[in-house]
Amino acid sequence: MKTITVLSGKGGVGKSSIAASLAVLLAESNKVTAVDCDVDASNLALVLGVRELDSSFGIKAEEKAFVVEDKCDSCGTCASVCKFSAITMEGGKPVIDEALCEGCGACVLACPNGALDLKPVENAVIGSAMTEYGFPVVSGQLKMGMSGSGKVVFEVRQHSKEIASGHGSEFIIQDSAAGIGCTVIASVKGSDYVIAVTEPTPASFEDLKRALGVVEHFGIRVGIVINKADMNKEMTESIRAFAFENGLSVLAEIPFDRSFVDALVRLKPPVVHNKKLEPVFQGLLGKAMTAMQA
């Protein structure tokens, strides 16, 4: 089973639309599972037309502090060490605001009476569903105000392997979180190939370079997709030159197309909504498959 991860250094560049389109095309001749690792803002299932996941379960991938009241002597040390202002002293007793607690454990270490400890809390929901395109999608979503995204991505990937293996999938297409943080690292690690999506803007180009640094760290082969390539021809040329200088392939240059937005509104991957886009996505997929297997 091969894993292809679609990432971008910056959000909003069409990563999920591209991942969904590639999954649909690949599924025409292969067994595929689509996975949304963008747990802070998951939308891959929606792009694939799934409004509600069939099976979902909570996971505990974060810890929060709690007070063992009969050990507390109200010294107030914990409130002064918490850098997240999660502890306030009320009526001489420490009160922990779970929404602010990052589970760093500083208060547990600082308490002179062993009156604080950490407990796991449910911070995310993972689920799956069969898409109308005949392959499953697995998705994770952080709960409001919760953190611990990297661990949640790990759990999403673990669950997706079970679903993919039950489905007999030959390929997993992952939609990574944007950026260079722990969710991206958790998405990229162990991938067989990475497709890095960018737009021809200075900010997106700089973010692409940072994201490529993460991929390079793990020694994974990567190709670049320039979305809305005709919006800024000079910048597109700079991205091409950068790719050439660094021995990277530009897998596709997708022209600006309003149907990307229309497709999102209709909960369809762009390649399904607008058949004219099929050649560009077929070309992208073909180049990615060749590069992955080289």
Residues in the site for ligand SF4, rule: CB under 6 A? 65, 67, 72-78, 81-82, 84, 86-87, 94, 96, 101-107, 111, 113, 115-116
CA 19, CA 127: separation in Å to the nearest integer?
18
CA 294, CA 292: separation in Å to the nearest integer?
6
Residue 47 tokens, joined: 């792009």
Which residue, 73 or 262, is less far from ligand SF4 as judged by CB?
A: 73
Which residue, 47 or 107, is less far from ligand SF4 as judged by CB?
A: 107
Which residue, 102 or 170, is less far from ligand SF4 as judged by CB?
A: 102
Longest dimension (CA), the chain: 71
CA-closest candidate to residue 6, choices 37, 30, 31:
37
Which residue, 94 or 223, is less far from ligand SF4 as judged by CB?
A: 94
User: What is the per-residue DSSP string for 101-131?
Assistant: -----HHHHH-TTS-EEEEEE--EEEEEEE-
Phi-psi domain of 33 (left: phi exceeds 0; alpha: psi -120 through 50; beta: other): beta
Residues 6 or more apart in contact with residue 47 via CB below 8 angstroms: 16, 17, 20, 263, 264, 267, 268, 269
Which residue, 73 or 237, is less far from ligand SF4 as judged by CB?
A: 73
Query: Shortest approach of ligand SF4 to residue 61 CB, angstroms?
Result: 15
Query: Shortest approach of ligand SF4 to residue 82 CB, angstroms?
Result: 3
Q: How many CB atoms lie within 10 A of CB 23?
A: 30
Query: Shortest approach of ligand SF4 to residue 102 CB, angstroms?
Result: 4
Query: Shortest approach of ligand SF4 to residue 185 CB, angstroms?
Result: 22
Query: Shortest approach of ligand SF4 to residue 91 CB, angstroms?
Result: 12
